[in-house]
Structure 1
Amino acid sequence: MHDSLIQALERRRELIEQLEREQTNCYRLYHGTVDGEAGVTVDRYGPQLIIQSFHRDLTDAEVALIVEQVESYLGQALQPFYHARQHSQAKPQEAKRALSSSTEPDSQAVCQELGVNYRTRGVHRGIDPLLFLDMRAGRRYIQQQAKGLSVLNLFSYTCGVGIVAACAGAARVVNIDFAGSALAVGRENAGLNQLPEDRIEFVQSDFFPAARQLAGLPVNYRRQGRGGRRQPPRSYPRLEACQFDLVFLDPPRWAKSPFGTVDLIRDYPSLFKPSLLATKPGGRLVCCNNVAQVDAEDWLDQLQRSAAKVDRPIREVEWIQPEADFPSFDGKHPLKMVVLEV
């Protein structure tokens, strides 16, 4: 992939120059599906370089050549990591070029996007280094729109959307995620940007009880015990019904809990309804769907029908496209982001 990497870097030259002016030093350098070799990605996260393969192992020589080409292009040294994702049990390992046999590498670093600081880790239990780069366009939208507004960030993960909203001057930001470890990174990100504690909130909760309480809906649970008896759900934080000016909904493809199932192919409406009802009339709901086989227009039609059922019709629709470091053959990006004025 030597030649295709050089070509990919050249295609991004103008974008990277723009991003650098915008105080952004994290971006995708090689998107293998379009740039030349499917199943290989190369990402910069500030001082770190993350090389990933999903179909085949890259040799030490291939990894070293990628690092050499990128550093030559950027004119600076980076700390490289190689993750062989095709091995489900494999742990990420630092590229041997930068690994001293006597020193344990420090995988912690800080990257910048649109002037906002984020914690990144070249090695951790998740797939990405704590910030999804293809979501930059969504965070850019939030940065441009959030000033003075109340913002609800659902499935917040490490709270990138909430952090950029608070930095942009949102009046109130609430991040909700089930994973305490993700929210801990969100709190760290708040500290990296010197955000006061009263400007941003972190709520550890399953989506369904949190969103349904905010929407003023009853909380249901589905898990069955032996003999078909319903088991009481695990505890969850009690929240007052509240509507927000701007709601961001970015669920994973699939997840199951005692309160419901997240399924972006078969049942997006179960996520959409409480999120919509937690949005103020005249407010905006940003919906995301990262399943490639879901057609964007079919999905939008489903959202419009779901909104009509609860008498909250969609007034305006605006699509957000991923930025140029995530190219597509046909403009049909796996990640779909749509802003709904409701």
Structure 2
Amino acid sequence: MQALFDAIASAVMPTDAQRIFHGRGGRYPGCEAWTLDAFPPVWLVTKFGDATSEEMAALTAALQVRHAQLAPPDTPLNAVLQTRREGRSETTVLAGSVPEPHGVTEDGTKYRVNLQRGQNHGLFLDMAEGRRWVRAHAKGAKVLNLFAYTCAFSVAALEAGAKEVVNIDMAQGALTTGQQNHQLNGLNSGAKFLAHDLFSSWGKVTRMGPYDLVIADPPSYQKGSFVAAKDWPRLLRRLPDLLKPGGRALLCLNAPEMPESFLREQLAAEAPTMVMEQRLANPAVFADVSPDRALKVMVASLPPL
């Protein structure tokens, strides 16, 4: 765990939510199970596996030492540990407390997060460059945001001047948080929120189009919602019918066992009229010894007429 302790010893609580240490990338031997995130004013440590009482005590002590070096007197340390194993998670407050409601920022945009419920906290930090790409390309666009979750892409698109965003997700609770995210940023129009199963709603989704930009960031494996190996081909073959000529799709694959070539090959097979343009770089802190194991964020386009 020494590399994690070294990261803590030099960490500074940032203004924006972001990852600080990414042991999961395999670049720090012995720390592959650990990550450290900042969700100001809270540090979130995650271990993929069980944490011993000795590890928890050592983490708390290291965070307290660094906090004492940085924070004004009488300012509490807020730190949370989440352990994950076999699809289950357990969250422990190591020190201080977690705000409720808990709001964070990214590039000046506000988002609602929850560090004490479930494995998904409301904002995927590894997708920061994807949101920045949307900001750069959404002006004037009609956008379809599939598997919208808490609608961070929608907020980014509307702030960039998108004409309209249609958000679709099966989970009404996530969409409700998405609506709150829009309200936090003064975005009171321009977005639709549809709690639908995409694969039984193609007719409605298609009739609401065509779209200048389609964003697809599905779970890699969620029974009853999306299983990457089976459902990516079903999704990709629909893209040409959803997009305007010259439109683009942002395709996000977060399955370590599936390489970049999987998306490229499936797009060529299922939507041969489309062109894969590029793979976006992930935030530098998410560097991985195997690019194929890391998050894959790809841009594809439908050629203009």
Normalised by the shorter chain, which TM-score bucket? Answer: 0.7 to 0.9
| Contact 1:265 1:291 (C-alpha < 8 Å) held by counterparts | no
Note the 1:6-21 alignment, pairs <5 A.
6-7=6-7
| Contact 1:63 1:82 (C-alpha < 8 Å) held by counterparts | no
Counterpart secondary structure, 1:188: helix
Aligned residue pairs total: 294
Q: Does 1:67 align with 2:63?
A: yes
The residue that corresponds to 1:289 in the other structure is 253
Measure how far apart 1:334 and its partner are. Answer: 2.5
| Contact 2:213 2:243 (C-alpha < 8 Å) held by counterparts | yes
Q: Does 1:122 align with 2:115?
A: yes
Which of 28, 46, 63 in structure 1 is aligned with 2:40? 46
In structure 2, runs of 5+ residues without a counterpart are none
The residue that corresponds to 2:174 in the other structure is 182
Note the 1:294-333 alignment, pairs <5 A.
294-308=258-272, 313-333=273-293
The residue that corresponds to 2:84 in the other structure is 85
* Larger-gyration structure (1/2): 1
The residue that corresponds to 1:255 in the other structure is 222
Flag the 1:255–1:98 CA change in 2: closer, same or farther, 3 A: closer
| Contact 1:211 1:275 (C-alpha < 8 Å) held by counterparts | no
Measure how far apart 1:56 and its partner are. Answer: 2.7
Deviations 1:246-292 (A, max 9, x none): 110011112344xxx62212441112222442111110011111111
What is the alpha-carbon distance in structure 1 between the residues aligned to residue 220 and residue 69 of structure 2? 35
Runs of 4+ in 1 over 6 A off after TM superposition: none
| Contact 2:7 2:21 (C-alpha < 8 Å) held by counterparts | no
Deviations 1:187-231 (A, max 9, x none): 1101110112x211111111113344323xxxxxxxxxxxxxxxx
| Contact 1:317 1:339 (C-alpha < 8 Å) held by counterparts | yes
Flag the 1:40–1:88 CA change in 2: closer, same or farther, 3 A: same
Flag the 1:142–1:78 CA change in 2: closer, same or farther, 3 A: farther
What is the alpha-carbon distance in structure 2 between the residues aligned to residue 273 and residue 245 of structure 1? 17
Q: TM-score, normalised by structure 1?
A: 0.78
Flag the 1:45–1:171 CA change in 2: closer, same or farther, 3 A: same
Identity %: 28
Note the 1:188-207 alignment, pairs <5 A.
188-196=180-188, 198-207=189-198
Matched to 1:270, the amino acid is: R
Flag the 1:270–1:46 CA change in 2: closer, same or farther, 3 A: same
Flag the 1:110–1:316 CA change in 2: closer, same or farther, 3 A: same
What is the alpha-carbon distance in structure 1 between the residues aligned to residue 142 and residue 77 of structure 2? 38
What is the alpha-carbon distance in structure 1 between the residues aligned to residue 160 and residue 139 of structure 2? 6
